[in-house]
Structure 1
Amino acid sequence: MQTNLADFIRNTPDGNEADAILRNCVHCGFCTATCPTYQLLGDELDGPRGRIYLIKQMVEGAPVTRSTQVHLDRCLTCRSCETTCPSGVQYGRLVEIGRKLTEEKVTRPLRQRLTRRLLATFVPNSAVFTPTMRIGQHFRRVLPKKLRDKVPARQRPLEWPTAKHPRKMLMLAGCVQPSMMPNVNIATARVLDALGVETVIAPDAGCCGAIRLHLGYNDEALDDLRANIDAWWPYVEQGVEAIVMNASGCGATVKEYAHLLRHDPAYADRARRIVELTRDIAEILPEFEEALTTVTRRRSVHTVAFHPPCTLQHGQQVRGQVEHLLTALGVEVRLPADSHLCCGSAGTYSLTQPRLSYALRDQKLERLHAQEPQLIVSANVGCIAHLQSGTSTPVAHWIELVEHMLSV
């Protein structure tokens, strides 16, 4: 694709990156076949190819309209198109540039501005989010259904392991997971403990930055990144083996730290080291597969349907590890039809685009239920909560199932 950048963006970091990405696109349209919003809406501008044209027009100086912003807002950033693209177009990075430009050039309606500001302030702030979630869980039964869908039932926390081990890994606790689904973190620590690895958490680490980044608050998102690097760095210097991610959305973002901070001389080198250490728990456990088979035993759950989050299979390009590991532990894993498609959660998408989000959720659940599972498992807190809001079949993180199988 030929480009002719406008003066306002020519020879800037965003302009150079957008230009390189656009030039890789060959207009083939393969991406539309795997785009969830294009499948639902059938509008070229609600598919990757159409959005790429809109962004091309923006960087070439065409007027940026509210319509352009709407089409970019509808994108889930699931990055399924990247997996499909034969030319390696980095659409996820391009759409973030496009969104940044629309935020600068288009004034949103007041209600949207307030909603997005509230989400960007409230959700990543665990000091506010956690007590609010506790109140919501206490009164969950009497909440309106739309609100109840966003408040998962409170878990009875497992016991955090207390053993000390020479091998140590650092884990991101996350901003919402400790209050919404605390047992995901505890289960991760318990499984690693059974394998002789101690899990440590940096108390000053917070949101990975994804929430603010995808809502268009780029400067605040970069501050989140820097704060986490500062919090983690002493542990990195002490020699932790890895930074463990059990929320694939967080993992996909942390693995972008080096790119996002590439022009920050104070953080660029450390960000690269953070990315080198960051691994999803699905990338860590395969090396312990033989040991896991000796410390687990088959329980009552023996058939599961697995929903691989977009941030795992497309964002991190991690595929097959969860299915292989659970199968090795004696669990039958069934993938639904079109398992590459998004469930509609996508961070705050279910709040900003509820109609599309719930349509995708119901479509995903229909295909998961067709597998007749005892349990639905996934790998991201948002996907788990979103799916559970639409089904009576239990939905959990797959690491919780592994923890349940521990015999030690």
Structure 2
Amino acid sequence: MLGRALPGPEQGVIRDAITEGVIRRLLDKGDPRLQNFQLCNGCGSCTPYCPAQINDLEANGDRGYLARKVTAALQAGRRPEIDLSDCVQCYSCETVCPRSVSIGGIINAVYETEHVQPVFRRMLLDRGCLPPHAFLPLYTGRGRIRKFVAKAIQYPCPVDDRAVDEVRRLLLHPVEASAFSRPGHPAPKRPLTRPDQVFHLNSCCAFNYPGADLSQREILAALGIRYETSRLQTCCGGAPHYMGGAGFADRLLLTARNLSVIRDALEPDDGIAITGICPTCSDSYTAALELLSVSTNRAVVNEALGRIGREVGNPGTFVVANILDLYPLYLDELRRLVETRLSGLRVGVHVSCHYRKMTGTLAVPPGLQDLAAVTGARVVRSGMEHHCCGGVKNLFDRHQNGHTKGLPRLNRLVHKGFMQHRLDVMVVDCPGCELVYDHMGVPVLHITELLALATGADPRETVCIQGHLTSLSPALGRIGIL
């Protein structure tokens, strides 16, 4: 796939544009994202992979419109004359850049500066997480409010008052992003092995699909993996960060604080595996552990954490056990646990952009396909696997701006693919992707929900299919589960 490369500007032009142009006015010169962007030489490698206006006729066939325009404008010292909310933070640009420049990161930094949404920051200060009412704007419409109320009553997502107080004291004394530096080279990662116990993260976005969280717990127990949780754990800062409500340093401090909570909850001799149903959480913890591998970064973080009586120690103690990496270690056990083969169910798979960002690859990892196949469902391969779902940020923007009717281009693209391949259900690894598919009228299941159904879990009590906006009854009824 070839894209239209930008003319290669001289390094001096780029340097002057960054130093004197729009980015310099918006961001501190020490911001790690700004320092990272200085490596960009406008080669255009990211252009064909940007989905912001992919295959849209209005873009005049110009694939990668957004990434190319943003790169050109920022290097010329101008603010891009486009809607930055079109960037859905898929990070395709970062995974293909030959110099590891995160165009998505710098776009989000500018978006963060111009569009900080105080409502999300206020929720972090008031509740320590994104509470149920953070998602209320997405439940407007006939029948949806009832689903929202039922979830809010049954799954209130409480956080301990002590934790809320600690978050408030952290965020009310912000640390500048310029206080941190990127590691000169990737820190060695602790290899993931089959753990005896894990810390199971409570995801803010799990409110929308409590069945994904309940299914995860049931699967862990069935595999003999002990898990711990804690009401002292708060939001990792990932979702508010990408929505423009928490800055780079805020997310790092929130995640580092949670690492302290996790260490106190487990304190094993050898290591701590962190799992959960949300790849944004996995990405936040992976990024934090990488930054904390730099001793000067760790010193800055611990100075801030010291105000609340916490500290974070050796990041090598922890390993992020994302479900797409953890569950494939137990494929044989999962096959034996299957009670109801989902034969006849045609499913497509969609791997989240934040998992791809965390692993640094655009290739479709085999984990999700293998796990879906374990259930007996027929996995239908398609180009949809490489597309972005459309993004939760885009979904919020549409609802907040009153554009709830009709589907934007990315949603249209994946919806068309779903219909053309005559799929019954989309299977995802991300509650955010699940939310986007559900809102566009596509039956969707989190991979934990699919596995739980195959292992005999109750569709309503455990998987909570009644909370989905798009009914799963036709697909599940046809194969005899309902």
- Fold match by TM threshold 0.5: yes
Name the structure 1 match of 2:299. 265
Name the structure 2 match of 1:283. 325
Secondary structure of the residue aligned to 1:38 is coil
Name the structure 2 match of 1:294. 336
Structure 1 pair 86/271, CA: closer, same or farther in 2 (3 Å)?
farther
- Residue 73 of structure 2 is aligned to residue 50 of structure 1: no
Q: C-alpha separation between the residues in 2 aligned to 1:56 and 1:47?
A: 14
Larger deviation: 331-340 or 267-276?
267-276
- Residue 413 of structure 2 is aligned to residue 367 of structure 1: no
State the one-letter code of the partner of 2:383.
Answer: A
Structure 1 pair 257/278, CA: closer, same or farther in 2 (3 Å)?
same
Q: Which runs of 5+ in 1 are unaligned?
A: 159-165
State the one-letter code of the partner of 2:447.
Answer: W
1:204 Cα deviation (Å)? 1.1
Name the structure 1 match of 2:262. 232
Q: Which runs of 5+ in 2 are unaligned?
A: 1-8, 156-194, 303-310, 458-482
Structure 1 pair 131/153, CA: closer, same or farther in 2 (3 Å)?
closer
TM-score (normalizing by structure 2): 0.66
Q: 1:213 aligns with which of 233, 236, 241?
A: 241
Q: C-alpha separation between the residues in 1 aligned to 2:386 and 2:375?
A: 24
Secondary structure of the residue aligned to 1:243 is strand
- Residue 216 of structure 2 is aligned to residue 188 of structure 1: yes
Deviations 1:62-86 (A, max 9, x none): 4x64x55x54333111011233334
State the one-letter code of the partner of 2:102.
Answer: Q
What does residue range 326-405 of structure 1 map to in structure 2 within 5 Å?
A: 326-346=372-392, 348-353=393-398, 358-391=408-441, 393-405=442-454
Give the count of matched residue pairs: 374
Structure 1 pair 345/99, CA: closer, same or farther in 2 (3 Å)?
closer
State the one-letter code of the partner of 1:185.
Answer: D
Larger deviation: 83-92 or 186-195?
83-92
1:18 Cα deviation (Å)? 3.3
1:172 Cα deviation (Å)? 0.9
- Residue 106 of structure 2 is aligned to residue 80 of structure 1: no
Structure 1 pair 86/170, CA: closer, same or farther in 2 (3 Å)?
same
Q: C-alpha separation between the residues in 2 aligned to 1:248 and 1:403?
A: 19
1:217 Cα deviation (Å)? 2.9
Q: 2:273 aligns with which of 231, 242, 257?
A: 242
Name the structure 2 match of 1:6. 19
Name the structure 2 match of 1:176. 205
Q: C-alpha separation between the residues in 1 aligned to 2:386 and 2:34?
A: 26
Q: C-alpha separation between the residues in 2 aligned to 1:357 and 1:204?
A: 39
Deviations 1:44-95 (A, max 9, x none): 89422332333334xxxx4x64x55x54333111011233334443333333
Q: C-alpha separation between the residues in 2 aligned to 1:212 and 1:388?
A: 21
Secondary structure of the residue aligned to 1:339 is helix
State the one-letter code of the partner of 1:322.
Answer: L
Structure 1 pair 187/357, CA: closer, same or farther in 2 (3 Å)?
same
State the one-letter code of the partner of 1:405.
Answer: A
TM-score (normalizing by structure 1): 0.76
- Residue 369 of structure 2 is aligned to residue 323 of structure 1: yes
1:132 Cα deviation (Å)? 3.6
Name the structure 1 match of 2:159. none
Indicate if the aligned counterparts of 1:36 and 1:342 stay in contact, CA closer than 8 A.
yes
1:401 Cα deviation (Å)? 0.9
Structure 1 pair 56/170, CA: closer, same or farther in 2 (3 Å)?
same
State the one-letter code of the partner of 1:200.
Answer: E
State the one-letter code of the partner of 2:396.
Answer: L
- The CA RMSD measured in Å over matched residues stands at 3.9
Q: C-alpha separation between the residues in 2 aligned to 1:254 and 1:205?
A: 13
Percent identical residues: 18
State the one-letter code of the partner of 2:354.
Answer: T
Name the structure 2 match of 1:162. none
Structure 1 pair 296/242, CA: closer, same or farther in 2 (3 Å)?
same
Structure 1 pair 281/93, CA: closer, same or farther in 2 (3 Å)?
same
Q: C-alpha separation between the residues in 1 aligned to 2:146 and 2:397?
A: 15
Name the structure 2 match of 1:161. none
1:230 Cα deviation (Å)? 2.6
Q: C-alpha separation between the residues in 1 aligned to 2:280 and 2:410?
A: 18
1:386 Cα deviation (Å)? 1.5
Indicate if the aligned counterparts of 1:323 and 1:333 stay in contact, CA closer than 8 A.
yes
Q: C-alpha separation between the residues in 2 aligned to 1:209 and 1:150?
A: 26
Indicate if the aligned counterparts of 1:167 and 1:198 stay in contact, CA closer than 8 A.
yes
Deviations 1:312-343 (A, max 9, x none): 23443471211023224432212332422211
